[in-house]
Amino acid sequence: MKRKLFTGIIAVLLLFSSNVKAQDLKSAEIKIKTSATCDMCKKTIESALAFEKGVKKSTLDVPTKIVTVVYNPKKTTPEKIRLAISNAGYEADSLKANPKAWSNLEDCCKKGTTCEEKK
C-alpha cells in the first residue's frame, strides 16, 4: 500500500516538473563546441552572438572552447546560432567555419595555431 502511494507521488511530481518545463519556453540553453583559442576569439564569438536575434546571453569558456548560449527558442534555433558562429569564422560543433570569415581572423585565432603557442 505504502509503495503504491509513493509511486503515485513520484508520478505526480514528474508530471508537475515536465509541465513547468513546457511553460518555460522563452529561455533555453545550449552548449556549442567551437574552435576558439584565446580571449580574442571569445570576444569575437560573444559579440557576434550578441547581435544574433533571439540570443540573450553567451559565455565562452576558452579552456574548453565551449560556448554556453541562452536563447529564446521562439526567435531562434540552435542551427541558426551555430551558423552565426560559423559566420564569425569559427567551427560550431560539426559545422565548419565560414572560410571567408575565417581568413579575416587574426593569425593566432585561426584553427591549428593557438595564441598561447605564439607567446
Is residue 41 involved in binding Cu ion (CB under 5 A)? yes
Is residue 38 involved in binding Cu ion (CB under 5 A)? yes
Amino acid at residue number 7:
T
Give 36 or 71: the residue with its C-beta nearer to Cu ion.
36
Give 83 or 115: the residue with its C-beta nearer to Cu ion.
115
Shortest Å, Cβ 108 to Cu ion:
5
DSSP structural state of residue 98? P
80: closest CA among 106, 55, 107? 55
| DSSP-assigned letters across all residues of 34-62 | B---SHHHHHHHHHHHHTSTTEEEEEEET
Give 3 or 107: the residue with its C-beta nearer to Cu ion.
107
Shortest Å, Cβ 78 to Cu ion:
23
Amino acid at residue number 13:
L
Segment near Cu ion (CB under 5 A); pick from 21-29, 31-39, 78-86, 91-99: 31-39
- Phi, psi (5° rounding) for residue 24? -90, 55
Residues of the shown chain interacting with Cu ion in the complex, contacts defined by CB under 5 A: 37-38, 40-41, 109, 115
